[in-house]
Amino acid sequence: MKKIIECVPNFSEGRDEKVIGAIAEAIRNTQGVTLVDVDPGKSTNRTVYTFVGDETAIVEGALAGARVAREMIDMRHHKGEHPRFGAMDVCPFVPVAGVTMQECAEIAKAFAKRAADELKVPFFLYEEASDRDYRKKLPDVRRGEYEGLDEKLKDPKWAPDFGPAEFVPAWGATATGARMFLIAYNVNLLATSNQAHRIALDLREAGRGPRQPGKLKDVKGMGWYMDEYNLAQVTVNLNNYKVTPLHVLFEEVKEKARELNIAVAGSEVVGVVPLASLLMAADYYIEKEGLFIYQEEQKIRLAVERLGLNSVAPFNPKEKIIEYIVAEAPDEPLASLSVREFIQEVAARTSAPGGGSASALMAAMGAGLGAMVAKLTQGVRKFEDREAHMQAAIPVLHDLTQSLIPMIDKDTHAFNEYMDGLRMPKSTEKEKTARKAKMQAGLKTAVQVPLNTMRLGEKAWNALCETAKYGNPASKSDVQVGARALETGIWGAFQNVLINIAGIEDEVFKEKTMAEAKAIETRSREKCAEVLAILEKN
């Protein structure tokens, strides 16, 4: 899996468009980096940049931004609502995909060393990159802010991890480290800054102090007034959205605002968010309101609407959800063909695509036909007594259809892996050994792919039985064709398991795989007969 790291540096400039643009351009022009968001704030006089890249590119992107800040930002003239102590105030590295937190901690250290050496400024490590408890939390590292930094650096206890232990007036200091995906989130209030701050004190984990902790864990927050929006905000950092999700914070603010007779006017996400955070919100409102929504796109829309994320600026999921931003086009050349083109590919004088890809297609068509009938039944007034059955079947059949489509290409890819091994040289014993190992690995992959097709297909049977029992009778033939297509797809995948497993020398693998494949194929025939019998009775 490709390594994807997110970097979210906060620079102490949110008003000068020339500086904001220059930093963005430096990051954007770094090879291997994708700049996904630039979020300036005039009141905070601070801009949050979000970009992603691999372990090498992400450091280069952060360095590029820091170099510009060193030249163009002078902290001696900085004023803003947000706590800060440096031109590049904070620079966290966040694991997104294929990378661990510890790896991100090492990346932060590598960046800090290079930046401190080159720019001659102090860098502090925090969160997972720091091994000292008293300076792990960002508020502790930044306590005293820029104005207190000169004295702070004179204390040996607060010597920077990298760079000079001396005050650099134009720069200040920077904190860098590794952390969980932090969501910067603001809830809008038609209120005063004092009222917003009062709510923030009630909710943030630190509360009003050790004797008056707040209600929500892993939440940092305060209240302020945003002149450009002409409203107040409870502004928070959700340090762990799985502990305190977006919707929990939003609903708690609503409750506190209700007690104070204050109006809530939506909310905003600063930067980007993980997909899971919005799906969690959607699931909460779906359950709370008794809704039936199963498509991801509609879930996202529901979350955006309920949280009021469009209230002060448009919320474009493709630009705000990290998984959508970094998503690559699927490697599915076969599944992307027209029906005519796919059939012609199968009919061509080549061994791939062959029966395995065709089997995956048939299984997908089987699940898809079941999904179609269930969807055509659900929501129809004369079938209201069947609504619960259809609502149970639709998400299963819909999701399995989507999951089976990629198997069309995976089968061909698996066969190509075996062929790569077959074409390897075999002149020496070493070459023969490497060739055999490659071919054996290719055969196992060629077995696992159709077996996965069988596993996915099998999961559709119970939902297809429900559709046969309670689906629109006018669509009886569609369910019949769906059942036969699904059975044939599973049977065809089973034949691919049989033909490829014969050449595998790992007897333990063969025995275990065959037992599972035979069981699925047998159950498939039985379930197909069950579906057809149900339809004959109806």
**Quick check: 13 and 45 in contact, CB under 8 A?**
yes
Catalytic residue (one of 39, 78, 82, 197) = 82
Q: Please, what is the end-to-end C-alpha distance for the chain in angstroms? A: 49
Report the C-alpha gap between 499 and 79 in whole angstroms. Answer: 72
Which one-letter DSSP state was computed for residue 273?
B
Report the C-alpha gap between 125 and 465 in whole angstroms. Answer: 58
Residue 511, Cβ neighbours under 10 Å: how many?
Answer: 10
82 is an active site residue: yes
List the one residue out of 7, 10, 4, 3 whose CA is nearest residue 40: 10
SS3 177: strand
Which is it for strands 123-127 and 88-97: parallel, antiparallel or unpaired?
Answer: unpaired
Residue given tokens 């902790």 in the structure block: 213
Residue given tokens 């010597």 in the structure block: 159
Report the C-alpha gap between 526 and 453 in whole angstroms. Answer: 18
Report the C-alpha gap between 187 and 232 in whole angstroms. Answer: 8
Report the C-alpha gap between 444 and 415 in whole angstroms. Answer: 10
54 is an active site residue: no
In this structure, what token pair is assigned to residue 170?
Answer: 């134009």
Report the C-alpha gap between 182 and 221 in whole angstroms. Answer: 13
Q: For the chain, what is the total number of helices (H) and then of strands (E)?
A: 19, 11
Burial class (CB in 10 A: 0-12, 13-18, 19+), 509: middle
Answer positive or negative: Cα dihedral of 93, 96, 101, 102: negative
Catalytic residue (one of 37, 161, 409, 411) = 411
User: How far is it between the farthest Cα atoms of the chain?
Assistant: 87
List the one residue out of 489, 475, 461, 299 whose CA is nearest residue 374: 475
SS3 128: coil
Report the C-alpha gap between 63 and 60 in whole angstroms. Answer: 5
SS3 507: helix
Cis peptide before 353 (omega within 30 of 0): yes
Q: Which residues are catalytic?
A: 82, 411
